[in-house]
Amino acid sequence: MKNSINPQKTPGVGTSFTPGVESLKPRWFGTLRPRWLRTFRYLVRNLVILTLFLLLPTPAHAQTTSLSIWPPLLQATIQPGKAITQVYRLKNLGDDTTITTALKSFTPSDELGHVKLLGSELSPSFFSFQNADIDSFPTTFPLKAGQTQELVLKIKIPANQPEADHYLTLLFESNTTGLIGGTGTTNQATIGSNILLTISNDGQPLKSAKIEEFKVEGSELPVPRTRDDPRRMSRLVPNLSKIGLLDSFSPISFLLRVKNTGTTLFKAIGQIEITNTFKKTVATLPLREDNILAGSIRSLTSEVKEVHTSEVDGISWSPTFPIGLYSATATITPQDSTNTITSTITFLVLPYKALLFIFLIFVLFRLTKRKK
Amino acid sequence: MKRLLAKLAIISILVTSTQSFFLISPPTLDSANLTSAKDTLSSSRLSYYNALSAGNTVGSTLVQVKTSGMPSDSTANLFTGDSVWIGNSITGTNYTVDDILDTDEFQITSALGSGDTEEDDLVIATRSATHTLTFTTATAIQNGAIRILIPSGANANTDGIPNHDGFDFNGMTASDLTQPTGGGVTSWDTTNAPTATASGGTHCTAGNHCFEARYNGTNTAATALTFVIGGTNKLINPAKSGSTEGSADTYTVTIQHLGSQTDGYPVVDSTTVKIAVVESVRVTATVDPTITFAVTAVGIGTTACGNPVDVASTPTTIPFGTLSLNTFTDLAQTLTISTNADDGYAVTVLENDQLGKDGGTDPLIIDAIGAGAMTDDLQDDWHTNTQNGFAYSLDNDDAASIDFQYSDSSGGSCVTGTFCAKQFPANADPDTAERIFYSGTVADAENAYICYRISIGATQEAGDYENNITYTATATF
């Protein structure tokens, strides 16, 4: 039956063969061309296309909303009547998106340096973008995947603006279009760069601080109490109840909370110096120079020297088997001032858990022996 | 005449013979060089000696220094963390260098005090070093001594302030010396030696500081000895002597092996070594601080917050789709953050309002209350699907700190550890954004799942319910 097929009676099949070319081929080849060759050519063509797709893949765009901002923090002191500019670099590491900028005031949300966004308190006229193609606040502009946009922010303070601190966050909100098609939620990724602005005539506003709390974290010396005199031991040994009791085998950490009692922010510069029973300095713990905003309290942390993968809040000291009475003196100086403040605490370090364990073993041993 | 000539000939022969004898067998030389001699400094950094230029003010942390006319005429050789003394002959204060700004300005960690800001006030950073001298003696000497001479400079070489032409004595005493040991001697004198004598002191001529170690008995010739100069107190390295920045200043140290005490300690053997002091090289590089925040989708079947995800999310939407009555529907997204800012970051969440029909305000799919106590501030268990509403939980991957997790069995009102959840804070209520995770230091792609859960009851009015949730990442200030 195959030999009876006439290719010329099947339009559209074998159209790439011209009669002249066909005439040069073996007779049997021409008679097999319509179905066999069509299938073969179809398979080869698809295989080539598939191979090309595999060898030359198009760039993949991950399904991500991702923004990167530089710098994450701007700290500036400006005289009334003066202006500064700062370049911000915003990069879209996700899909094509539209960016909306906003400027909001913030207050500290906790004692760790995190922000709680409020409505803007400064006149928007203080702030403007100098880019020719970007309007001032609030402004919206497209940002393609992989694109970086530089924004030049100008901060101009009116001449009659009173001296004060202003804490703001410059927000960049990604508004990638999303369809829900039913019940659901749309969401935006927003990235913020904080601005710590001090308006000052002489550039040297008064800075003052107070140590709100300084203590060793952990158990306190248990004060024996009687029905007649609940603080008897405390009276016998002055300030005994204020002495912290720590175990020699447990980590020693300090809580140091410093309050900014002035009207302008400062960096807290200082350290904790630890002396042993013989008044010899055994350790000096440098503190990270954290910003403390006006009127707020910040829990200071150890200076970080290396990259850590875990939380580093707090101040820790890791001596080798400490034992005895120790004193720790915290010294803090607001940067650009000489108003140094100090606070000293005393704590007792004993291997009391081990001693208690040995005592219990001893008692059990004696009891067991007595029964026998 | 003949007899006279004969006598002259005999005398000539005798003289020539004697001369020949001395030429063939010369007497042993009394003085020789010590060998393998070297002086190793624990720090070869030059000291810093400059002065304030005009324009410094009390209360400022910016220090401006001179660029000519002083041994150190720039900020080269100053480093972050160095202790510098600033002051004059009346008053002075120690400060710590915070940063080097340029060739004539640097920052200190605390403000300049009164009396420390006048032009020509000195700016000094001392660099002390222990000198370890090793050498091999050449001669066996009975009851001898070893003496080291280190250049002192001409003036004020004992005041603890660096000089530009030699080492400052810096109050060294015998306790700062470690005299040689061994060497074949009977004993090294520990009663009257070692001694440290400043330039111009007793038996120490001006121009060098003198350090001596004496011994009893006779040393072995060709024995290696070590003399360490520097303990609690150390000699202060000189400041720049005026040579080109980056080129070393060289000084000559003399090592002497002295004869016996009864002869008045004459110099028997002597050798000199050169030591070089140079500025350290300041290497700087700037890494811009950045913060990067990403939201990514989570596909069906992925386990987040202990449950397989029912519907795939996208980076911008949480499409619950058509909901079944009294049935939990779970979705999730991944939040990822990186920052090289020292103080770390925080991520907060805020919804515009509760889920409203067609995005309106009535009717609502209310925020869930879980077992009864859940709010946007307080987490509570939510594992009964007839407790209807909308809420979220968290599943930490590697974020430094997270405010709560789905598996918590304590904190807030959570006790079961099954699905501990919170309401989203709503801007319309009005609530403030709630922190969900954070770090107090740099972070490298730290991420956590945010898990969305919804359940509706039979009385929920039909329709599409929508709201909007904003995640905000900010660096710690």
Q: Which residue in B288, B433, B469 is closest to A185 by CB distance?
A: B469
- In percent, the amount of chain A with pLDDT more than 90 equals 47
Nearest to B43 by CA among B275, B261, B224: B275
Average pLDDT of chain A is 79
d(CA B131, CA B148): 10
Chain B residues in contact with A307 (beta carbon < 8 A): 441-442, 444
DSSP string, A156-220: E--TTPPSEEEEEEEEEEE------SSEEEEEEEEEEEEEEEEE-SSS-----EEEEEEEEESPB
Chain A residues in contact with B454 (beta carbon < 8 A): 183
Closest residue in A to B470 (Cα–Cα)? A188
With an 8 Å Cβ cutoff, are B355 and A191 in contact?
no
Strands A183-199, A73-78: pairing is: parallel
Model confidence at B80, pLDDT cuts 50, 70, 90, reads: confident
d(CA B200, CA B217): 30
* Contact indicator for A265, A196 with CB cutoff of 8 Å: yes
**How many other β-carbons are positioned within 10 Å of the β-carbon of residue B315?**
24
- Collapsing DSSP states into helix, strand and coil, what is residue B11? helix
Segment A229-247, tens digit of pLDDT: 444 444 444 555 567 788 8
Encode A64-79: b = buried (16+ Cβ within 10 Å), e = exposed. bbbbbbbbbbbeebbe
Average pLDDT value for residue range B217-237: 95
With an 8 Å Cβ cutoff, are B292 and A68 in contact?
yes
With an 8 Å Cβ cutoff, are A187 and B113 in contact?
no
- The rounded Cα B427 to chain-centroid distance in angstroms is 46
Closest residue in A to B330 (Cα–Cα)? A184
With an 8 Å Cβ cutoff, are A115 and B323 in contact?
no
DSSP string, B329-389: EEEEEEEEEEE--TT-EEEEEEESSSEEETTSSSSEEPBP-TTTT--SSS-EE---TTS-E
**How many other β-carbons are positioned within 10 Å of the β-carbon of residue A248?**
18
Chain B residues in contact with A310 (beta carbon < 8 A): 400
Model confidence at B58, pLDDT cuts 50, 70, 90, reads: confident
With an 8 Å Cβ cutoff, are A183 and B320 in contact?
yes
Chain B residues in contact with A293 (beta carbon < 8 A): 477
Q: What is the pLDDT of residue B13?
A: 73
* Contact indicator for B381, B413 with CB cutoff of 8 Å: yes
Half-sphere exposure of A298 (CA within 13 A, CB side): 33
Query: A80 vs chain B: nearest CA distance in angstroms?
Result: 20
Helices (H), chain A: 19-24, 27-32, 38-55, 232-236, 352-371
Query: A115 vs chain B: nearest CA distance in angstroms?
Result: 7
- Confidence check: pLDDT of A306 > 50: no
Q: Which residue in A191, A196, A337 is closest to B59 by CB distance?
A: A337
With an 8 Å Cβ cutoff, are B343 and A95 in contact?
no
* Contact indicator for B213, B193 with CB cutoff of 8 Å: yes
Chain A residues in contact with B464 (beta carbon < 8 A): 180, 182-183
Closest residue in B to A195 (Cα–Cα)? B477
Query: B214 vs chain A: nearest CA distance in angstroms?
Result: 36
With an 8 Å Cβ cutoff, are B61 and A335 in contact?
yes
Chain A residues in contact with B469 (beta carbon < 8 A): 185-188
Tokens of B74: 């720039």
With an 8 Å Cβ cutoff, are A62 and B296 in contact?
yes
Q: What is the pLDDT of residue A304?
A: 56
CA distance between the termini of chain B? 118
Chain B residues in contact with A168 (beta carbon < 8 A): none
Encode A149-175: b = buried (16+ Cβ within 10 Å), e = exposed. bebebebebeeebeeebbbbbbbbbbb
Q: Which residues, 6+ apart, have CB-to-CB distance to B116 below 8 Å?
A: B58, B86, B87, B91, B92, B93
Segment B354-412, tens digit of pLDDT: 999 988 999 999 999 999 999 999 999 999 999 999 999 999 999 999 999 999 999 99
Q: Which residue in B61, B316, B342 is closest to A65 by CB distance?
A: B316
Q: How much is the pTM?
A: 0.63
Phi, psi of A259 (to 5 degrees): -105, 135
* Contact indicator for B446, B338 with CB cutoff of 8 Å: yes
Geometric angle at alpha carbon B475, from B470 and B476, rounded to 5°:
120
Chain B residues in contact with A304 (beta carbon < 8 A): 342, 441-442
Domains of chain A: 7-55 (no CATH), 67-177+188-199 (2.60.40.10), 209-303+313-355 (2.60.40.3880)
Query: A113 vs chain B: nearest CA distance in angstroms?
Result: 5
Model confidence at B25, pLDDT cuts 50, 70, 90, reads: low
Closest residue in A to B290 (Cα–Cα)? A70
Average pLDDT value for residue range B241-248: 74
Query: A290 vs chain B: nearest CA distance in angstroms?
Result: 8
Segment A134-168, tens digit of pLDDT: 877 888 999 999 999 999 999 999 999 999 999 99
* Contact indicator for B401, B437 with CB cutoff of 8 Å: yes
Q: What is the pLDDT of residue B100?
A: 86
- Collapsing DSSP states into helix, strand and coil, what is residue A232? helix
